[in-house]
């Protein structure tokens, strides 16, 4: 288990729990949940991350799909040594054009713990790749929810894959919109299939606003390109291939052997 609250200690009581209280849309019955507690380890997540990376220096990629509190705590507990052991970090979070989803100007993960996001971008010495909110929006990533819960479900049914059956329930309970928006999975796809999936990316110096009345939690880029003063510290994914993602999902489900368009 990891941190239970943001670095600054404030938790918005009215925040929406998109993934439910159990992380699965609160749609699982008791039978599905019986053995979950047996997987919870007593060691704190921050200590586990540091030990894994120390044992395999410069070999482990961290894929962060939530608030960055645990990573920020790593620097608090272990100093710069924490980041030196990590190969690279992939982050789903932030925004680079001011488009928000948790507030009018901030993305959920960064907005949930702005201090943590700020610390990670400031202190991390290894390469950081960020999938921000904008390339996940329907204007840039457009797969109808009917494909996910209709066509894909029908094709995958014959394989009787338990994990997919559970995810069908979860996503059916969560999505009350026309467009499928699996941000976390998009980040994993970007790591697994970078050349096929990422259509455009760019490098920037980025930080996170902590004090703005309307912009707290917003990721801020150095548009002046003062690289000597503010060296580039992140790669930002701007566009991904939605058709390629369909093939990735089908590949993961065993419906295809390759991402090739014709197979």
Find the mean pLDDT for residues 165-172.
80
* More confident position, 40 or 235: 235
Task: For residue 176, tell me if it sits in a domain.
Answer: yes
Task: For residue 44, tell me if it sits in a domain.
Answer: yes
User: Residue 174 has what pLDDT?
Assistant: 63
Element at 250 (helix H, strand E): helix 242-252
Q: What is the torsional sign of CA 213, 218, 224, 228?
A: positive
Residue 68, pLDDT above cutoff 70: yes
Task: For residue 152, tell me if it sits in a domain.
Answer: yes
Q: What is the total count of domains within the chain? A: 1
- Give the domain range for residue 211: 30-252
Tell me, what CATH number does 187's domain have? 3.90.245.10
Find the mean pLDDT for residues 129-156.
94
Find the mean pLDDT for residues 119-132.
98
Confidence class for position 161, pLDDT limits 50, 70, 90: confident
User: Residue 262 has what pLDDT?
Assistant: 60
Task: For residue 260, tell me if it sits in a domain.
Answer: no
User: Residue 244 has what pLDDT?
Assistant: 97
User: Residue 169 has what pLDDT?
Assistant: 80
Find the mean pLDDT for residues 187-208.
98
Task: For residue 143, tell me if it sits in a domain.
Answer: yes
User: Residue 208 has what pLDDT?
Assistant: 98
Q: Give, in order, the Cα–Cα distances in Å from 5 to each of 12, 13, 46.
A: 10, 12, 14
Residue 153, pLDDT above cutoff 80: yes
Rounded Cα distance, 144 and 192, in Å: 23
Which is nearest to 149 in space by CA: 249, 9, 63, 35? Answer: 249
Residue 11, pLDDT above cutoff 70: no
Residue 33, pLDDT above cutoff 70: no
Neighbours of 99 (CB within 10 A): 17
User: Residue 54 has what pLDDT?
Assistant: 96
Task: For residue 8, tell me if it sits in a domain.
Answer: no
Q: In angstroms, what is the C-alpha Rg of the chain?
A: 19
Task: For residue 16, tell me if it sits in a domain.
Answer: no
Find the mean pLDDT for residues 64-83.
96
* More confident position, 2 or 116: 116
Residue 132, pLDDT above cutoff 70: yes
Confidence class for position 40, pLDDT limits 50, 70, 90: confident
Confidence class for position 263, pLDDT limits 50, 70, 90: low
Global pTM reads 0.91
Find the mean pLDDT for residues 77-82.
94
Average pLDDT taken over every residue of the chain: 90
Task: For residue 168, tell me if it sits in a domain.
Answer: yes
């Amino acid at each position: 288990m990891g941190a239970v609250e943001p670095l600054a200690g404030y938790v918005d009581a009215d925040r929406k729990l998109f993934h439910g209280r159990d992380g699965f849309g609160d749609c699982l019955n008791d039978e599905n949940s019986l053995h979950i507690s047996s997987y919870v380890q007593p060691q704190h997540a921050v200590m586990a991350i540091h030990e894994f990376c120390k044992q395999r220096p410069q070999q482990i990629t961290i894929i962060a799909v939530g608030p960055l509190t645990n990573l920020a705590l790593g620097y608090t507990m272990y100093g710069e040594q924490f980041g030196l052991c990590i190969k690279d970090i992939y982050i789903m979070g932030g925004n680079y054009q001011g488009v928000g989803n948790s507030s009018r100007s901030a993305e959920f993960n960064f907005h949930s713990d702005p201090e943590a996001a700020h610390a990670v971008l400031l202190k991390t010495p290894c390469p950081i790749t960020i999938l921000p909110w904008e390339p996940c929006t329907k204007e840039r990533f457009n797969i109808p929810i009917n494909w996910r819960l209709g066509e894909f479900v029908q094709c995958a049914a014959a394989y009787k894959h338990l994990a997919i059956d559970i995810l069908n329930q979860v996503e059916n309970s969560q999505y009350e919109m026309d467009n499928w928006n699996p941000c976390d999975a998009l980040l994993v796809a970007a790591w697994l299939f970078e050349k096929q999936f990422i259509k455009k990316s760019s490098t920037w110096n980025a930080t996170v606003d902590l004090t703005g009345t309307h912009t707290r939690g917003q990721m801020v880029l150095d548009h002046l390109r003062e690289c000597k003063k503010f060296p580039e510290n992140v790669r930002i994914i701007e566009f991904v291939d939605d058709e390629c993602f369909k093939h990735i999902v089908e590949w993961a489900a065993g419906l295809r052997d390759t991402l090739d368009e014709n197979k």
